[in-house]
Amino acid sequence: NAGVTQTPKFQVLKTGQSMTLQCAQDMNHEYMSWYRQDPGMGLRLIHYSVGAGITDQGEVPNGYNVSRSTTEDFPLRLLSAAPSQTSVYFCASSYRGPRNTEAFFGQGTRLTVV
Amino acid sequence: QQPVQSPQAVILREGEDAVINCSSSKALYSVHWYRQKHGEAPVFLMILLKGGEQKGHDKISASFNEKKQQSSLYLTASQLSYSGTYFCGTAEATDSWGKLQFGAGTQVVVTP
């Protein structure tokens, strides 16, 4: 059971380039989210999804797009990379139970924009 | 608005106790606690639900005071393995998991 898998683990982009961060989970979880983690700021929510075909914005959505065509996959697209998007990105998933449940995190993608 | 965690950092000797606090200005349904080791993903510790429930995980326990919208994480008889950064995440409704808001974290260093 792989859990939540993120690719790539590391990426360097030039300003203005676009790319997609991949996230896949094999636990049949309904909820999936993307967070970015910057020093001293904890985890900030970028976008989240409550199921296939349904997405919504979090605290810091500007410059990012998401889509969710399947339960398993939730890619994050950077449209035109900027140095301010240098960060560590985490994808997380959770089972939709009667109450809030545990989040499982991927290993993260460390992105540097130069 | 992100919840506020305190202290920002704490250094302990093995066997000592510590308390990490998490407070929010909003009415909360649940508080989640995670620990992250350097270079790794956050790992779930426990969830505290509205109702003042107290939970435990090994010698780590937590409480949730819904009147004050505060949660505290208690590290008892700390072990070297407790080192890491602890985050609280807060949710305002039963189905708002996807909208968890995390505090800035508390770095815990346990020394021999």
* Least-confidence region, from A17-21, A48-52, A101-105, B75-79: A101-105
Write the pLDDT tens digit of every residue in A29-79.
999 999 999 987 889 999 999 999 999 999 999 999 999 999 999 999 999
Q: Do B102 and A50 touch (CB under 8 A)?
A: no
Distance CA A58, CA B101 (A): 9
Q: Do B104 and A102 touch (CB under 8 A)?
A: no
Write the pLDDT tens digit of every residue in B57-66.
678 999 998 8
Distance of CA A111 to the CA centre of its chain: 12
Element (H, E) at B44: strand B43-49
Distance CA B52, CA B55 (A): 10
Spell out which residues of chain A touch residue B98, defining contact as CB-CB under 8 Å. Answer: 31-33, 45, 48-50, 56, 94
**B93, closest residue in chain A (CA to CA):** A100
Let me know if A95 is exposed, middle or buried by CB neighbors in 10 A (0-12, 13-18, 19+).
middle
Q: What is the mean pLDDT of chain B?
A: 89
Spell out which residues of chain A touch residue B43, defining contact as CB-CB under 8 Å. Answer: 105
- Name the region of A9 (left: φ>0; alpha: ψ -120 to 50; beta: rest): alpha
**Residue B99 main-chain phi, psi, to 5 deg:** -110, 30
Average pLDDT of the residues in B14-20: 97
Test mutation, B33, B49, B97, chain A, max A CBs within 10 A:
B97
